[in-house]
Amino acid sequence: MSISPVEKTSVNILKEKIQQHRARVGIIGLGYVGLPLALLYSDQKFAVTGFDIDQRKVTTLTQGGSYIYRITAEEIQAAKAQGFSATSDYSQLSSMDAIIICVPTPLDEYHEPDLSFITGTTHSIAPHLRAGQLVVLESTTYPGTTEEVMVPILEKENKHNLKAARGGSFSDQEFFVAFSPEREDPGNTTVARRDIPKVIGGLNPQASELASALYGSIFNRTVPVSSPAAAEMTKLLENIYRCVNIALVNELKLLCLRMGLDIWEVIHAASTKPFGFHPFYPGPGLGGHCIPVDPFYLSWKAKEWDFRTRFIELAGEINTNMPYHVLASVGGALNRHKKAVNGAKVLVLGVAYKKDIDDLRESPSLTIIELLQKDGAQVSYHDPFFPFIGKGRKYDLQMKCAELNNLGDYDCVVIVTDHSDYDYPRIVREAQLVVDTRNATQGIASDKIVHC
């Protein structure tokens, strides 16, 4: 197929700007995904502008501060020295060469996909879209979102009658679109962000080429796939794989508890097999943005094809029920101490969705606190990353972090998030009763401990 002179000029000019790190990169959504990404580009001396509707984030970054635990103020200030800026003024998108969307994709109250952040952001981009720009969606979503939801809005609402480039050609009235799923793992200090391969699915070959160049400038490896939908499904597979296997060990944990077996001992022993086994670990429920959410995105989309994802739905059901198992375990443990949940003073240790991070998204701790409160418990919490819990999309707790100097005053201490800073021998020594959902007290001999 012949390549038009227009395509040669437009595509190659943008690619050259990317390769020479002269491209202006706009990142929409400055949370746990967008802000680290902005810092990677700034570190490679790209001119980066971050966009967010939360003015508090914009103000904090403008003042050289940080609101994410693992990102220091010094990193923000170094990025600002390279030209990084943050704004809530979306009109500045018109001057960007590449626009990367990193906004949340939660579930609504009916456990169905909530694309309002994607659609709202796309509506905000469209009036400022210009020919030759590259728009990349990173938000986790169901296969088809990029092409079926985002592209039509961009095409309908831009001011210049631009179309997304499809097929093998490109004109001066088109823009490029791709999907590249985020692969952030908060708290992971063993794998550098640049070493995480970047999956890329462009709407046409030129979009894939440009997106590969864009991400190849900060990641050591890019993995092109045939379409945005293939890239969207890749992300879902990664997290559903984890969801299903975690559900498996959660169910086996419940069985082992009835059989008087230690699931942690069993997993450790199975892990000695040098092939065909990868360990997953039980817990009080799933947290974070991806693993508790992604299965429902695919299950919802599958209905369009008259297909029921029974295996995935069962895994979701098991994991969703784990906080109720914790509630029952607390009730049973208190009962053996001749106490009821109603009126009991309970301290929940850890509210982040996993250890050593400052992320509350979908945390099972929040559900456990609410369940205990509904049963009449006087609940307090402690977490070194959260001095206060206010109102979120699915909770309104208005609680202040408790001190750890009066553990003996509580009828029960529930370890929900096993932060490394906790002194577990001291906790067991001073508490009246400890319900451990994370095996954090492994190796500590005490009849105060109840593993659940």
- Helices within 63-204 (DSSP H only): 73-81, 116-125, 145, 151-157
**Same-domain pairing of 261 and 399:** yes
Domain end (from 225, 253, 279): 225
- Give the C-alpha separation, 4 to 398, whole Å: 61
**Same-domain pairing of 251 and 212:** no
**Same-domain pairing of 187 and 276:** no
Residue 182 lies in a domain: yes
- Give the C-alpha separation, 133 to 21, whole Å: 15
What CATH number corresponds to the domain at position 431? 3.40.50.720
Among residues 243, 290, 412, 452, the one annotated as catalytic is 290
CB atoms within 10 A of CB 8: 11
Residue 236 lies in a domain: no
Residue 232 lies in a domain: no
Domain region containing 25: 5-225
pLDDT for the residue 9: 61
Tell me the pLDDT tens digit for each residue of 136-182.
999 999 999 999 999 999 999 999 999 999 987 677 789 999 999 99
Question: Going by C-beta distance under 8 Å and a sequence separation of 6 or more, which residues neighbour residue 103?
Answer: 28, 29, 34, 117, 118, 121, 139
Residue 81 lies in a domain: yes
pLDDT for the residue 2: 43
Model pTM score: 0.92
**Same-domain pairing of 286 and 404:** yes
**Same-domain pairing of 175 and 320:** no
- Give the C-alpha separation, 337 to 411, whole Å: 9
**Same-domain pairing of 123 and 211:** yes
Is residue 401 among the annotated active site residues? no
pLDDT for the residue 8: 54
Whether the Cβ atoms of residue 126 and residue 163 lie closer than 8 Å to each other:
no
Residue 233 lies in a domain: no
- Using CA of residue 67, residue 72, residue 73, residue 78, what is the dihedral sign? negative
Q: Are strands 388-391 and 396-400 parallel, antiparallel or unpaired?
A: antiparallel
Low-confidence ranges of the chain (pLDDT < 70): 1-9, 169
**Same-domain pairing of 350 and 219:** no
**Same-domain pairing of 118 and 221:** yes
